[in-house]
Amino acid sequence: MTTLSQAATATAPPRLQALRRFARAFLGRPTAVAGLAILVAVAALALAAPLFIHANDLDVIGATGRPMAPPSAHYPLGTDYAGRSILTLLIWGTRPSLAIGVIATALTVVLGTLIGLAAGHFGGAPSRVLMAFTDWFIALPTLVLAICLAAVLGQSDVSITIAIAVTSWPGTARLIRAQTLAVEARPFIERAKALGAGHVQLVFRQVLPNVAPLVLVSSTLTVAGAILTETTLAFLGLGNPTEVSWGAMINQALNSGAVTANAWWYVVPPGIAILIVVLGFVMVGRATEDILNPRMRARS
Amino acid sequence: MASPVTAQVAAETVRDLRAASAGRDFAVYLSRKLATAIVSFAALLVVGFILFSLIPSNPVAALTRGRPTTAKQLAFLTKQLGLNLPVWERFAHFVGNTVTGNLGYSWQFQEPVATLIAQRVWPTLLLVGSATIVSVVIGMWLGIRSGWRPGTLLDRVATGTSITFWSMPTFWLGIMLLVLFASGFGPIPAIFPAGGMSTPGAPGGLTPDHILDVLRHLVLPCLTLVLVTFGQYQMVMRSSVVDELGSPYLLTARAKGLRDAEVERRHAVPNALLPSVTVIFLQIGLVISGVVTVETVYSWPGLGYLAYQALQIPDLPLLEGTFLVFSASVIFFNLVADVLYRFLDPRVRRQ
C-alpha cells in the first residue's frame, strides 16, 4: 500500500509535486495559515453579504436608528451620521475594497508582466528605454499621481481602479524583468531557440510558465497596497459617492464631527477592518515569498 | 637612478593628475546626472500635459458648470483657454508657461496657482523636515539594533511593528491620534490642538509664544508621519547591516580584540550607513504620499492640504500645480541622493 502511494507520488508530474511541497511548507507556518484564514473569512463575508443585507439597510433616507448613537443591543457597533448600523456598513464595505483591490491588481500584473517580459527578452536599446521609463515611474509620488488621475477621470470605481493599476505596475515590471533575464540564461531556452522557436513561442511558452509563480507572490503583496490606496482615494472623496466603503465611512465620520463628538465606534471599526484585510494579504504574501525564495527573505 | 627628490616630485605629479582626473570625472558624473534629471522633468511635463490637458474632455464645460452660457461665451472661453489650437502648440505653450513659473489661475481661489503654492511650501517643509529627521533617527537606530542580531526578540518586535504601521491607512492613524490626544478620550485630557498650524486669532511673528503654539500644532501631524515612515528606514538599515554581518573585515576587527559593541559601532555601522543614506532621499515619494493625507486630517495649511482643497471642486489648474511641484521635488531629491552618494562612498568616488 505504502509502496503503491509512493510510486504514485513519484510518477506525479513535477509541477504537481512542487505544488504539494509548497502546500506542506505553507501549512507549516502559523502566520501563513492565519493570513489565509483571514482572507477566506473576509471573502466569504463579502460574497454572502447580499443574502442578509438589503438595500434599505444602506439607504441614508430610510435609516431607522438615532444618528451617531453609541453601541447598543440593536446596533452592536452603534450608528453613523444618518442612523445606519455601522456593523452593516462595515460588512458591506468588504465588497468594494476587495473587488477594486483584486481587479486593480490583476490589471497591474498584466501590465507589469508584459512590460517586464518585453524588457527582459528583447534587451538592448528598447530594454534600456523601458527600464528607464519604469525607474522614472517608480520615483514619482504614487499617491499624488493616482489622486490626479482619479480626479481627472471623475468620481467612480472604474477611475479608482485605473488610477491604482496605472501607478503600481513598475514594481512588478522590474521583478519580472530580472526573472526573465535569469530564466533566459538557462539551457532549455537555447534548445528552444535551436529548434526554431520564435519570440512569441519563447516568451509565452518557455519563459512565462517559469516566471508565473513569482508573479503570483508579488501580486499578493500588490493587493495589500492596492486596498490601502483604494481606501485612501475613497477617503479623499474620489470614489463613487453613493457607495458604502471603508474609506468613505471614515471620510463621513471626519466630516460629520465624529472626532470631536468622541464617536469612537464610528471611526475605529472601518480602520481595524482595513488593517485586518491588508495584514491578511501581507502575511500570506510574505510567507509565500519566504518559501519560494528563502534567500531573499533572510536579507530583507 | 632617480634621486629621492625626483621620486617625490613624480609621486606628487601623479597624485595631482589623479586629483585632476577625479575632478573631471566628477564633472562628467554630475553633468550626466543633471541630464537625467532634465530628461525626467521633460517626461513629467509630458505626463502632466496628457493628464490635465488631453484627458479632461471639456474644461470649458467644467468651468461653466451649472451656469447659463451662450454659444458665443463658450467660443470665447475656448479661445481664451487656447483649446482651439493644435495639440503641439498647446504643449509648447504649456511648457513655456510651466518653465517660467506661470502655473495658471486657480478656479476656486481666483489667484495665481504659483502664489498659492509659494504660501503653502513652508508649512509642508516644516512638517516633512521634522518628521523625516525623527523618523530617520528612530528607524536607523532600530534597524542597526535588529540587523546586528537578526532573529532576536527586538528584531521580531521591530519588524512586526513596522509591518503593522505599514498596513494601517495613514489617514485613519491620524484620526485615531486625534481622537486620543486632541478631543480627550476617557482619562486622557485633550493635550494637543485638533488642527491648523496656529491658534486662530493669536498674534503671529517670531515671538516665543507663537513658535511654541506652532510646535504644539506640529506634534500630532509629525507623529503620524513618523509612525508611517520609520518602518521603511528600519527595514533598509536592517538589511544593509545583515549584509555586512559575514564580512571578513568584521572577523579581523574581532581578532584584533575589539569588543562586540565596538566592532558594530566603528566597523559595521559606517559601511552599512552608505546605502541607507541615499535611500532616505529616495523615500521622499513615500513621505509626500503621507503628507497629502496627514495634512488633510489635521488641516495643516501645506501643499498636501492644498491638493485636497483642489480635489473638492475639482480645481484642475491648482491640482496640476501641486502635482508638478510634488513630482519635481522627487526628481530634485533623487539628484541630491546621487550626488551625495558620490561624496559619501569612497569606492564610487574612485571608480
Quickly tell me which residue has 525626467 as its cell.
Answer: B40
User: In a mutagenesis test of the A interface, which of B52, B164, B172 is the best target, namely the one with the most A β-carbons within 10 Å?
Assistant: B172
* Whole-angstrom distance, CA of residue A283 vs CA of residue A37: 11
* Whole-angstrom distance, CA of residue A285 vs CA of residue A293: 12
- Provide the pLDDT for residue B59: 64
Please check the confidence at residue A276 and state whether its pLDDT lies above 90.
Answer: yes
Which amino acid type is present at position A265? Answer: W
- Provide the pLDDT for residue A7: 47
Q: Do B334 and A140 touch (CB under 8 A)?
A: no
Q: Do B297 and A279 touch (CB under 8 A)?
A: no
Q: What is the mean pLDDT of residues B206-229?
A: 88
- Provide the pLDDT for residue B138: 93
CA distance A187 to chain B (A): 31
Whether A129 and chain B come into contact, CB under 8 Å, resolves to: no
Instruction: Strands of chain B (E only): list them.
Output: none
Residues of B in contact with A279 (CB under 8 A): 163-164, 167
CA distance B12 to chain A (A): 42
CA distance A288 to chain B (A): 16
For B149, left (φ over 0), alpha (ψ -120 to 50), or beta?
A: beta
Do residues B313 and B108 touch, judged by C-beta distance below 8 A?
Answer: yes
Whether A267 and chain B come into contact, CB under 8 Å, resolves to: yes
Q: What is the mean pLDDT of residues B136-164?
A: 88
- Provide the pLDDT for residue A109: 93
* Whole-angstrom distance, CA of residue A10 vs CA of residue A5: 9
Quickly tell me which residue has 576587527 as its cell.
Answer: B253
* Whole-angstrom distance, CA of residue A289 vs CA of residue A112: 18
Main-chain dihedrals φ then ψ at residue B215, nearest 5 degrees: -60, -40
More confident residue, B101 or B6: B101
Q: Do B169 and A271 touch (CB under 8 A)?
A: yes
Which amino acid type is present at position B326? Answer: F
List A85's β-bridge partners, or say none: A79
Query: Where are the alpha helices (H) located in chain A, listed in sequence order?
Result: 2-11, 14-27, 30-52, 55-58, 86-122, 124-139, 142-153, 157-184, 187-194, 199-201, 208-235, 246-255, 264-292, 294-299
- Provide the pLDDT for residue B58: 64
More confident residue, B66 or B90: B90
SS3 A79: strand
Please check the confidence at residue B351 and state whether its pLDDT lies above 60.
Answer: no
Q: What is the mean pLDDT of residues A25-30?
A: 88
Grid coordinates representing A256 are: 460629520
What lies within 8 Å, CB to CB, of A176 at 6+ separation is A112, A113, A115, A116, A117, A120, A211, A214, A215
Residues of A in contact with B170 (CB under 8 A): 232
Nearest CA in chain B to A134: B40
Q: Do B289 and A152 touch (CB under 8 A)?
A: no
- Provide the pLDDT for residue B16: 53
More confident residue, A242 or B323: B323
Do residues A282 and A35 touch, judged by C-beta distance below 8 A?
Answer: yes
Q: What is the mean pLDDT of residues A151-159?
A: 87
Residue B285 CA, distance from chain mean position: 5
Main-chain dihedrals φ then ψ at residue A85, nearest 5 degrees: -70, 125
Please check the confidence at residue A94 and state whether its pLDDT lies above 60.
Answer: yes
Angle, alpha carbons A110-A115-A116 (nearest 5°)? 95
Residue A299 — very low, low, confident or very high, per pLDDT cuts 50/70/90?
Answer: very low
More confident residue, B318 or A65: B318
Do residues B228 and B164 touch, judged by C-beta distance below 8 A?
Answer: no
User: In a mutagenesis test of the B interface, which of A133, A134, A138, A143 is the best target, namely the one with the most B β-carbons within 10 Å?
Assistant: A143
* Whole-angstrom distance, CA of residue B200 vs CA of residue B339: 42
- Provide the pLDDT for residue B183: 74
CA distances from B188 to A63, B177, B178, B191 (A): 33, 12, 12, 8
CA distances from B141 to B220, B239, B293 (A): 22, 13, 27
Q: What is the mean pLDDT of residues B122-127?
A: 93
Do residues A230 and A246 touch, judged by C-beta distance below 8 A?
Answer: no
Residue B339 — very low, low, confident or very high, per pLDDT cuts 50/70/90?
Answer: confident
Neighbours of B338 (CB within 10 A): 20
Residue B1 — very low, low, confident or very high, per pLDDT cuts 50/70/90?
Answer: very low
Please check the confidence at residue A141 and state whether its pLDDT lies above 60.
Answer: yes
* Whole-angstrom distance, CA of residue B111 vs CA of residue A3: 83
Considering only CB atoms, A250 lies closest to which of B171, B183, B330, namely: B171
Verify cis geometry, omega within 30 degrees of 0, for the bond prior to B314.
yes
Residues of B in contact with A140 (CB under 8 A): 44, 285, 327, 330
Whether A271 and chain B come into contact, CB under 8 Å, resolves to: yes
User: What are B228-261's pLDDT values in tens digits?
Assistant: 888 888 888 888 888 888 888 888 888 888 888 8
What lies within 8 Å, CB to CB, of B191 at 6+ separation is B181, B182
Please check the confidence at residue A55 and state whether its pLDDT lies above 70.
Answer: yes
Please check the confidence at residue A2 and state whether its pLDDT lies above 70.
Answer: no
Do residues A74 and A259 touch, judged by C-beta distance below 8 A?
Answer: no
Q: Do B176 and A271 touch (CB under 8 A)?
A: yes
Main-chain dihedrals φ then ψ at residue B63, nearest 5 degrees: -70, -40
Contacting A residues, span 217-246, partner chain B, CB-CB under 8 Å: 224, 228, 231-232, 235-238
More confident residue, A7 or A62: A62
Give, as one character, the DSSP assignment of residue B168. S
Please check the confidence at residue B226 and state whether its pLDDT lies above 60.
Answer: yes
What is the set of domains in chain B, with CATH numbers? Answer: 117-349 (1.10.3720.10)
Q: What is the mean pLDDT of residues A242-259?
A: 87
Residues of B in contact with A264 (CB under 8 A): 179, 185
- Provide the pLDDT for residue A192: 87
Number of residue pairs across A and B with CB atoms under 8 Å? 133
Q: What is the mean pLDDT of residues B94-105?
A: 85
Q: What is the mean pLDDT of residues A70-74?
A: 80
Q: Do A278 and B167 touch (CB under 8 A)?
A: yes
Q: Do B297 and A254 touch (CB under 8 A)?
A: yes
CA distance A138 to chain B (A): 9
Residue A294 — very low, low, confident or very high, per pLDDT cuts 50/70/90?
Answer: low
Residues of A in contact with B183 (CB under 8 A): 259-260, 262
Please check the confidence at residue B14 and state whether its pLDDT lies above 80.
Answer: no
Please check the confidence at residue A86 and state whether its pLDDT lies above 80.
Answer: yes
- Provide the pLDDT for residue A164: 92
Q: What is the mean pLDDT of residues B46-73?
A: 74
* Whole-angstrom distance, CA of residue A101 vs CA of residue A239: 13
* Whole-angstrom distance, CA of residue A27 vs CA of residue A214: 19
Please check the confidence at residue B283 and state whether its pLDDT lies above 80.
Answer: no
pTM, two decimals, is 0.84
Q: Which of A9-13, A53-57, A100-104, A243-247 has the lowest mean pLDDT?
A: A9-13
- Provide the pLDDT for residue A186: 86
Please check the confidence at residue A58 and state whether its pLDDT lies above 50.
Answer: yes
Residue B6 — very low, low, confident or very high, per pLDDT cuts 50/70/90?
Answer: very low
* Whole-angstrom distance, CA of residue B127 vs CA of residue B131: 6
Please check the confidence at residue B222 and state whether its pLDDT lies above 90.
Answer: yes
- Provide the pLDDT for residue B2: 38
Q: Is A196 exposed, middle or buried (0-12, 13-18, 19+ CB in 10 A)?
A: exposed
Nearest in space to B236 (alpha carbons), one of B285, B277, B291: B277
Grid coordinates representing B221 are: 501631524
* Whole-angstrom distance, CA of residue A266 vs CA of residue B319: 30
Do residues A226 and A164 touch, judged by C-beta distance below 8 A?
Answer: yes
More confident residue, A230 or B79: A230
- Provide the pLDDT for residue A123: 79
Do residues B189 and B181 touch, judged by C-beta distance below 8 A?
Answer: no
User: In a mutagenesis test of the B interface, which of A137, A148, A283, A286 is the best target, namely the one with the most B β-carbons within 10 Å?
Assistant: A148
Whether A70 and chain B come into contact, CB under 8 Å, resolves to: no
Do residues A170 and A134 touch, judged by C-beta distance below 8 A?
Answer: yes
Q: What is the mean pLDDT of residues B313-332?
A: 89
Nearest CA in chain A to B165: A275
SS3 B112: strand
Q: Tell me the average pLDDT of chain A.
A: 84
SS3 B188: strand
- Provide the pLDDT for residue B347: 63
Q: Do A267 and B327 touch (CB under 8 A)?
A: no
Please check the confidence at residue B62 and state whether its pLDDT lies above 70.
Answer: no
Angle, alpha carbons A10-A14-A15 (nearest 5°)? 135
List B188's β-bridge partners, or say none: B185
